Structure 1
Amino acid sequence: MGKAGLPVSPLAPTSFPDLPVIEGVEFASGAAGVKYQGRTDVTLIRIAEGSSIAGAFTKSSTRAACILDNQDKLARGKDDKAGAAIIVNSGNANAFTGARGRESVTAVTGAVAQALDLPEGRVYSSSTGVIGEPLPHARIIAIIGDLATGLDQGGAADAARAIMTTDTFPKGASATIAADGGDIHIAGIAKGSGMIAPDMATMLVYIFTDARIAPTLLQQALDRGLSSTFNAITVDSDTSTSDALILAATGRSPAAEITDLASADGQAFVTALHGVMRDLAQLVVRDGEGATKFVEIQVTGAASDGDAHRVAMSIANSPLVKTAIAGEDANWGRIVAAVGKSGAKADRDLLTIRFGDMVVAENGWRAPDYDEDKTSAYMKNSELVIGVDLGLGQGARTVWTCDLTHGYIDINADYRS
């Protein structure tokens, strides 16, 4: 069973990965009783001095207080060579809580700054859970002292569990690069199960590396990977108020500093970072609320990459497509309808649709060798690929989604109660 008492997703990996220790990053987790008693619900992360910090955040116009605070701090860049910290709570989003919400952020980050002897401007916070409820920040502050004394480089797995809400399994991913002078390690954790749709970040994600790299380059490396990872997934088309990605580079690797993303080491770092981002993003989809199918949607032949993205997301977010997938119904007509409503340029007679390696529709009509039995058998798989070629140009995009089952309704119908 997951943290919230839900059955573990059938799409979950068999175990949490063995993440490499990132020198200069320590974790501690505890139970503050933010919403539930007896659940680990707060994580404190300390990041060594001299670290570079980058971030990406939800574009919701009703962003939570912690998001606004994080964005302000990163924009100011003050004390960017001092140590840093991240404090995360689950159970309460501290969103749509007015001035009181900002006061809670200030109180929590100030307490962390005092406990760890850090500038308050280098303490970042995240809150996830119910919207519209005041954050009981005194409960969080009450355990900060214990968390500060319990910081441990090996605590990433516990941290991944502490930040879960309706997640049914903790999420982690890593990579190691052989660079000039030594290895560079990357490790990340994430939470996310519902309210998953672009734009960034639509979940909580914390990624750490021991690479030596300036904040500006680190931000560029992060930004380049968003469109093909965290902005290429959807569970339910709903964008959260509260979600964030924070990336920290401690500079503790013996490898030479990355000063150019176009260099061999720069390219290797970017590729590895984006791989970790993609792995974490896909794990979120595999834990989609009520999900039983993991679906990759490949759109090619679009007039532009933007059009390809519009078509892919139209298919991925279609309740009719997603429920057909849940019912293992090979209803390719719903793909046709989703393409048509996307707003992208499309021509019926140039369209090709594939389920796996089977062409089901082409040239404006059902494929001549279409086999309903074979297609229906394919739909019973737990992992599916739907391909759409628009026949118009070179635009392409791949996104990932899941099916829509009654389990999603069960989880969200009584989320607050």
Structure 2
Amino acid sequence: MPVNLKAPVAEHLHAVAGLRIGSTEAGVRKVHRKDVTVFLLEEGAAVAGVFTQNRFCAAPVQVCREHLASGNGSGGGIRALVVNTGVANAGTGEQGLLDARRTCLELAAQLGVQPQQILPFSTGVIMEPLPVDRIVAGLPAAIADAKADHWLRAAEAIMTTDTVPKAFSAQAVIGGATVTVTGIAKGAGMIHPNMATMLGFVATDAAMAPELLQQAVRTLADQSFNRVTVDGDTSTNDSFILMATGKAAHAPITSLESADGQALMAVLRSVAQRLAQAIVRDGEGATKFITIRVEQGSSVEECLRAGYAIAHSPLVKTAFFASDPNLGRILAAVGYAGIADLDQTKIELFLDDVHVATRGGRNPAYREEDGQRVMRQSEITVRVQLGRGAAVDTVWTCDLSHDYVTINADYRS
């Protein structure tokens, strides 16, 4: 069961003018489930993306990078996205690239655009050939299904080991006009920053200069999807795409530092962070959602080193699953995080409202029953003070349970 995460309601997801979405059952890996989705953009939309840092990246990631680059880096010519679940098309060599390109070619022919105007995405089992004939056969039905309000159908269609679809929507008044932001994501395992192991698609009808979009998507990724981790395993297929259709009735935003630019980034960040946190809440086998806030670092990088060390530690994560306040494990993780000249006598550790450690050792006032009270909660905040400066940053993670092993042991069955 996901941690305090409910399935979205279709009526709460706002349509984004200039974008239609359709899904179909193509039988990519399993029958009787939606597994191919298309996003259809009207001419003039801008698209930007960031992708996995795994050097063994999937064929669709390679093709996406090529097609975005062919649009002079702005993605201004992209007219459609096609997403399949079930097979990742990773570890498939030259044939995988041919299959990803054929998917683009076939969809482009049906839409009357160029193959370079299509972005392909895949998620699922690695090192299996993409059943491209089934995907191509399903494209007409996906196109016919395309409607502006099909966000929830798309969120369901891109799921793999997710237990609930992930979709959020928000609106804000910018430049006197109502601006909409809606997004979906998938991910539950192989979740690790740069990117988190996921597919994420966020769209807005805001009018913004195309050259700002790449800056915006990188900033958003760093503030959301690059702040979550489930198991420390970086995927081959991670992709986060931002689309701006320009249909909102306000003056085009030309700077992210302007008042309108900051207002837009705030609503985009809200949706992106909710999607990123939903991935952790639905982490494979997760029973607890954990916020790790590292304060008083000499730099943000230093805070993240400590935060990720705690979040990735199997000993820390299993202690949270067991509700066992074996909290010395957290201090040990901070100690091996690679922070130069760390003075352990300045470390303070808090578990929600409980002051666990002070000056690098057990707080004399700390009682184990207080720690256990917090550990039993479904949502927990770990706060570490390094005593080195004023930098602060946060990562989100979950516990590690028996079910994580079961889910991944049985993944291909």
TM-score, with length taken from structure 1: 0.96
1:406 aligns with 2:399: no
- Computed over aligned residues only, the root mean square deviation of the Cα atoms, in angstroms, reads 1.3
1:9 corresponds in structure 2 to 2
Question: C-alpha separation between the residues in 2 aligned to 1:274 and 1:225?
Answer: 6
Question: C-alpha separation between the residues in 1 aligned to 2:164 and 2:360?
Answer: 43
Question: C-alpha separation between the residues in 2 aligned to 1:80 and 1:57?
Answer: 14
2:372 corresponds in structure 1 to 376
1:219 corresponds in structure 2 to 214
Question: Structure 1 residue 343: deviation in Å?
Answer: 0.3
2:56 aligned to which of 46, 49, 62: 62
1:47 aligned to which of 41, 54, 70: 41
Question: Structure 1 residue 20: deviation in Å?
Answer: 0.8
Q: Is the Cα contact below 8 Å between 2:26 and 2:34 reproduced in 1?
A: yes
Question: C-alpha separation between the residues in 2 aligned to 1:415 and 1:29?
Answer: 23
Task: Report the identity percentage.
Answer: 43
Comparing 277-286 with 13-22, which one deviates more in the overlay? 13-22
Question: C-alpha separation between the residues in 2 aligned to 1:82 and 1:390?
Answer: 47
In structure 2, the residue corresponding to 1:177 is in which secondary structure? strand
Q: Is the Cα contact below 8 Å between 2:48 and 2:75 reproduced in 1?
A: no
2:320 corresponds in structure 1 to 325
Q: What 5-or-longer segments of structure 1 have no aligned partner?
A: 1-7
1:8-407 alignment, distance < 5 Å:
8-13=1-6, 15-16=8-9, 18-77=12-71, 81-82=76-77, 84-345=79-340, 346-407=342-403
Question: Structure 1 residue 296: deviation in Å?
Answer: 0.1
Q: What is the number of residues matched between the two proteins? A: 410
The change in CA–CA distance for 1:378 and 1:273 in structure 2 (over 3 A counts) is same
After superposition, give the CA deviation of every residue in 1:369-401 in whole Å (9 maximum; x if it has no partner).
Answer: 101112101111000000000001112210000
Question: C-alpha separation between the residues in 1 aligned to 2:375 and 2:102?
Answer: 51
Residue 11 of structure 1 aligns to which amino acid in structure 2? N
Question: C-alpha separation between the residues in 2 aligned to 1:273 and 1:318?
Answer: 31
Question: Structure 1 residue 147: deviation in Å?
Answer: 1.5
Question: Structure 1 residue 157: deviation in Å?
Answer: 0.3
Question: Structure 1 residue 106: deviation in Å?
Answer: 1.1
Question: Structure 1 residue 40: deviation in Å?
Answer: 1.0
After superposition, give the CA deviation of every residue in 1:194-253 in whole Å (9 maximum; x if it has no partner).
Answer: 000011252000000001112210111121222221111000000000120111100110
The change in CA–CA distance for 1:10 and 1:397 in structure 2 (over 3 A counts) is closer
Q: Is the Cα contact below 8 Å between 1:126 and 1:243 reproduced in 2?
A: no
Residue 25 of structure 1 aligns to which amino acid in structure 2? L
Question: C-alpha separation between the residues in 2 aligned to 1:296 and 1:396?
Answer: 13
Question: C-alpha separation between the residues in 1 aligned to 2:160 and 2:168?
Answer: 19
Question: C-alpha separation between the residues in 1 aligned to 2:224 and 2:307?
Answer: 14
Question: C-alpha separation between the residues in 2 aligned to 1:319 and 1:123?
Answer: 40
Question: C-alpha separation between the residues in 2 aligned to 1:80 and 1:15?
Answer: 29
Comparing 214-223 with 277-286, which one deviates more in the overlay? 214-223
Question: C-alpha separation between the residues in 2 aligned to 1:393 and 1:169?
Answer: 40
Question: C-alpha separation between the residues in 2 aligned to 1:127 and 1:48?
Answer: 23
After superposition, give the CA deviation of every residue in 1:19-76 in whole Å (9 maximum; x if it has no partner).
Answer: 1110011111111111111111111110111001110100100000000010111112
After superposition, give the CA deviation of every residue in 1:161-206 in whole Å (9 maximum; x if it has no partner).
Answer: 0000000000011221211131111110000000000112520000
Question: C-alpha separation between the residues in 1 aligned to 2:78 and 2:292?
Answer: 42
Comparing 76-85 with 190-199, which one deviates more in the overlay? 76-85
In structure 2, the residue corresponding to 1:227 is in which secondary structure? helix
Question: Structure 1 residue 9: deviation in Å?
Answer: 2.1
Question: Structure 1 residue 81: deviation in Å?
Answer: 4.7
In structure 2, the residue corresponding to 1:392 is in which secondary structure? coil
Question: C-alpha separation between the residues in 1 aligned to 2:75 and 2:273?
Answer: 28
Residue 393 of structure 2 aligns to which amino acid in structure 1? R
In structure 2, the residue corresponding to 1:231 is in which secondary structure? helix
Q: What 5-or-longer segments of structure 2 have no aligned partner?
A: none
Comparing 268-277 with 289-298, which one deviates more in the overlay? 268-277
In structure 1, the residue corresponding to 2:47 is in which secondary structure? strand
Q: Is the Cα contact below 8 Å between 2:78 and 2:119 reproduced in 1?
A: no
Q: Is the Cα contact below 8 Å between 1:205 and 1:246 reproduced in 2?
A: yes
Q: Is the Cα contact below 8 Å between 1:194 and 1:289 reproduced in 2?
A: yes
Question: Structure 1 residue 90: deviation in Å?
Answer: 0.5
After superposition, give the CA deviation of every residue in 1:274-309 in whole Å (9 maximum; x if it has no partner).
Answer: 111111100000000000000000000112111110
In structure 1, the residue corresponding to 2:408 is in which secondary structure? helix
Question: C-alpha separation between the residues in 2 aligned to 1:94 and 1:56?
Answer: 18
Question: C-alpha separation between the residues in 2 aligned to 1:227 and 1:83?
Answer: 24
Q: Is the Cα contact below 8 Å between 2:24 and 2:145 reproduced in 1?
A: no
